[in-house]
Amino acid sequence: MILPMDDNTQYGELHKLFDSNFLNYTSYVIKERAIPDVDDGLKPVQRRILQTLFNMDDGRFHKVANVVGDCMKLHPHGDASIFSALVNLANKEYLIDRQGNFGNIYTGDNASAARYIECRLLTLAKETLFNKDLTEYADSYDGRMKEPVVLPAKIPMLLLLGAEGIAVGMATKIMPHNFRELLEAQKQILRDEPFEIFPDFPKGGLVDVSGYQEGNGRIRCRARIEEKDEKTIVIREIPHSTTTESLIESVEKAARAGKIKILSIQDYTAEQVEIEIKLARGIYATETIRALYAFTDCEVPISPNLTVIMENQPVVMGVDQVLRRNTIKLQEGLEKELRIDLGRNREKLHAHLLEQIFIEERLYKDIEECKTYPAVLETIDTSLLPFRERLVRDVTVEDIEQLLEIRIKRISRYDLNRKKKEISEVRGRIKEIEESLRDMVAFTLGYLDKLLTLYGDRYPRRTEIIPFDEVEARKVALSNLTVGYDRETGFLGYQVKAEAEHSFACSEYDKILLITNDGAYRVTNVAEKVFVGPDLAWVGKIDEKMVFSVIYRDGAANLCNVKRFKTPKFILEKEYRLFPEHPRSRILFLKTEENLFLRVYFAPNKRARHNFSDYRLDDFLVKGANAIGKRLSPRVVRRITETAPPKEGSAPPLEPDPQPNLFPVPEGEGKEKA
């Protein structure tokens, strides 16, 4: 319905309705679906799945379809979302034991249908996630059942499992970490020692954590690639967030684009990753491995984002903050368990002592003459008064009623020694608990050591942490394009046909340097076909190590300068100059080779003994591209030719070589000024 703009009242009410509903929807998606809780590291659907498995637990496997059905009593969404979350959680291998085909994290294959596979809780989950005494429960979505608000996790589940989720206006991307390293870091926190913790991925591979900013920042993941021989490459492990299918697709795409050359690629992945790549003729493994990292998903960047729910609010935290909070929660949880255990053992000791006194002192005989139940209660209470100091606490009516429930058969067979042993054991347990409570740091360290002993060897580090060498795409790209320059038409590009001397091979990542005869130069990208003009003195791809040797005529003085310079710094498509602009300034000689010998012919001069001079260009210093250079000679240059290196002891010829002028002198400049 479209409301009239002048009906401000109705429009305002509708606007408020949208605002209110959208805020509720946003809050629901953030807290109830996408973002995990910092304390137990779980999203609501994961927490409900684990609680359902705990409720169903009898030590045997349960059909996943039954687990999903029971979980729907707690989860207000469909079975597909529950099944998907259960499979994902099971494949992390920490909490759920699997039986059947749960898919393949390497290939990306889906799990079998829920009716064909089974699961149950692992011992680690039962020992570290559940304690009814410490769990706060709330009504389920329909009010028929109770579900945990947060599970009392005793291990840093958030950092162990990792998480990904997209909510409204925010997202989270938390990296998984190694079980043993997390618990060792918690021990360092308890001992007030510095610690570092980095991601560990179930698919293995390599990771560069130089940009990992406490759970945020940026990391780079690489596949583990082996060189089987110079013509065969084998990929053994793949980066996080990829599958063998997606990685192979990226390799084939790079091959179609001409960035790498391969003969074939085969996927032999089963329990372990094995992708074999055969290389084409003339291509070798060492160079191809670097190209795979540059152009395929063999290297992927990941930008972690540690957004969590803490105390009912979304916050961005660091790994150290999360781990310190989890460690504090662990210590507090263990202390609460000890105090609950202490209370129960004291009650147990109280009951044992009451029974011992009641039977050994034959207090039951005092009630033989009592005719009413209140009289019985009063008689026993009075008879226990002399023994109050031996008891843990005051006697209550409930205590007396428990004594009255003791059978005659049990009294007649009462074993004094056995009862003393039981009391001694309970006293010993109470003393042990009290000692633990006096030093909770030591007790928590002992608990972590116990977990490491039981489970640490099951979860070795899978991802190797190493710094990556930067792979520049331009350096590893194949020179699969032939750029041509047609001087007649003035066009340049890999779609331009030209003679071999005006063509050169390059890749799409190379930059092309253009130098015109009037001393202007600029750098451009490789293009299909672009007009650059017919007046180029030099064209070629940029090479930082290249040294240019230039002889140019200074139009203002009508004399020649020589200079040598390395490839200049540049901004793409911006024009620069090698020497000041002048109508008569022009490049006479330009080459990049080393060890060049030149013969320079001058305008005739009767006073000069010779009209030419030989030069070795390497004798001139390499300076910047903006340098003016060194004056070649005070005489006017007519032409320049390359010559062979002079032989030792030989003298230059007296007359110049009679060759035609390569660079004609402008009219009126045939004679030198006196």
Q: Which residues are catalytic?
A: 116
Please state, in angstroms and rounded to a whole number, the distance separating the CA atoms of residues 116 and 114. 5
**Other beta carbons within 10 Å of 147:** 18
Q: Any long-range contacts for 183-189 (C-beta under 8 Å, 24+ apart)?
A: 183/155, 183/448, 183/451, 183/452, 183/456, 184/452, 185/323, 186/156, 186/323, 186/326, 186/327, 186/330, 186/448, 187/445, 187/448, 187/449, 189/323, 189/324, 189/327
Please state, in angstroms and rounded to a whole number, the distance separating the CA atoms of residues 49 and 332. 26
Nearest to 55 by CA among 151, 154, 162, 156: 151
Nearest to 399 by CA among 412, 413, 388: 388
Q: Any long-range contacts for 270-276 (C-beta under 8 Å, 24+ apart)?
A: 272/106, 272/236, 273/106, 273/203, 273/204, 273/235, 273/236, 273/237, 273/238, 273/244, 274/234, 274/235, 274/236, 275/234, 275/235, 275/244, 275/247, 275/248, 276/228, 276/232, 276/233, 276/234
On whether the CB atoms of residues 640 and 662 are closer than 8 A, the answer is yes
Please state, in angstroms and rounded to a whole number, the distance separating the CA atoms of residues 185 and 451. 13
The secondary structure of 55-124, three-state, reads HHCCCCCEEHHHHHHHHCCCCCCCHHHHHHHHHHHHCCCCCEEEECCCCCCCCCCCCCCCCCCEEEECHH
Give Cα separations from 647 to 570, 619, 654, 658 (angstroms). 41, 17, 16, 21
Please state, in angstroms and rounded to a whole number, the distance separating the CA atoms of residues 351 and 402. 9
Instruction: List, in sequence order, every residue forming a beta bridge with 429; answer none if it has no partner.
Output: none
The DSSP code for 585 is: -
Please state, in angstroms and rounded to a whole number, the distance separating the CA atoms of residues 663 and 674. 23
On whether the CB atoms of residues 559 and 603 are closer than 8 A, the answer is no
Nearest to 289 by CA among 325, 262, 267, 319: 262
Ranges of beta strands (E only) in 362-510 are 464-465, 481-486, 491-493, 503-506
Question: What is the token pair recorded at 178?
Answer: 């190694």
DSSP, collapsed to helix, strand or coil, labels residue 257 as coil
Residue 18 C-beta-side C-alpha neighbours within 13 Å: 6
On whether the CB atoms of residues 275 and 267 are closer than 8 A, the answer is yes
3-state helix, strand, coil in the chain (%, to 5): 35, 25, 40
Q: Are strands 511-516 and 520-525 parallel, antiparallel or unpaired?
A: antiparallel
Q: Name the CA dihedral angle for 227, 229, 232, 238, rounded to a multiple of 10 degrees.
A: -20
Please state, in angstroms and rounded to a whole number, the distance separating the CA atoms of residues 250 and 296. 5
Read off the amino acid at residue 27: S
The DSSP code for 457 is: G
Instruction: List, in sequence order, every residue forming a beta bridge with 99; answer none if it has no partner.
Output: 118
Please state, in angstroms and rounded to a whole number, the distance separating the CA atoms of residues 456 and 51. 25
